[in-house]
Amino acid sequence: MKHPSDHSPKFGQDQSAPRFGLARILSKAGLCSRTVAVEWIRAGRVEVDGRRILDPEARFPLSGPGIRIDGLDITASTRQVLLLHKPRGVLTTRQDERGRATVYDLLPGSPWLAPVGRLDQASSGLLLFSNDPHWAQRLLDPDQHVAKTYHVQIRPPLSTDTVVQLAADSVLDGEPCLPMQIRELRCGGKTQWLEFILQEGRNRQIRRLLAACDREVLRLIRVAVGNLPLGELRAGEWRWLHSGEEELLRQTPTPGDIPCLPSE
C-alpha cells in the first residue's frame, strides 16, 4: 500500500515531459548536493505541489512542479534572501583548502545560496545570501551607493578633529573615498568605539584607513545594510529575510539609527 505522501502522477503536470528523481532536481538547481537532498526528502522536509514526498527517487519534470523546502518555495521565480550573523574567524567562501571554518558550516540545513558580498575572516556581523544573482549584483553595484554601517573598536582613540577629517577627506590607492559618516559611540580608557556609514565597498576599506592613522582594529562588526539591522541574532545564527524587508536595504540610515549590539 502506498503512503499517502508517496509520489503519483496526479500533480497536473505534463506527463510527456522528461522526468527526473526529486533528489536530482534539487541538486541540479544548485540548492544542495544530492546526498543532502536525499536527507531532506527522507526527513519529510520537501513538498511537491503541496504534497510531502518521502522518496528521493520520485520522478517529476525538471521544470514545472512547485517545490517547497520547510515550507519555503524554492522555484526559480522566487527570490530567497538569508541573513547570517557571521562570527569572527569564519571565512566567506564555499570551502577552504586548509580546512578552516566557512560560513557554509553554519548553514547545514538551508538551501544553497550565494553570499552577497563578503566579510573578511577577522570581521563579524550581517552577511546576506541569495539565490538571485541579478538582485545581488544590483545590491553590490557601486553606482547604487547602498549604505553599510559598521561598529568598530580601535586602540588608541582618535581625536574629534581626526574623525572629522577621516570622514570628509580620505584617499585609498590614490583615489578619494566617497564621503562617509563617522561618529564616536563611546570611549573608555585606551579604546574607542566608532560608527562608520559607508556608501561604497572597497576592499578592507575601514581597516586600511585606520591603519594609515596608526590605529589597531580590535573589533569590526557590520551592524546594518541600508536600514536593515543585524538585530538580535547571535553570532552563528541566521534567519530568512521577509520580502517587505528588502525595501530597507536601499534606505540610507542616519547616525544613531542602528543600535549597538549587546556584545559591543
Domains annotated on the chain, with CATH: 19-73 (3.10.290.10), 79-256 (3.30.2350.10)
Distance CA 128, CA 85 (A): 9
Confidence band (pLDDT; 50, 70, 90) for 261? confident
Catalytic residue among 120, 169, 214, 257: 120
Query: Please, what is the average pLDDT of the chain?
Result: 85
Q: Is 120 a catalytic residue?
A: yes
Name the phi and psi angles at 18, rounded to 5.
-55, 140
Alpha helices in the chain, H assignment, sequence order: 22-28, 34-42, 133-140, 160-168, 205-212
Pull the grid cell for residue 225: 545594510
Least confident of 196-200, 234-238, 241-245, 253-257: 253-257
- Give the 3-state secondary structure of residue 22: helix
Torsion angle in degrees (nearest 10) through CA of 109, 115, 119, 120: 90
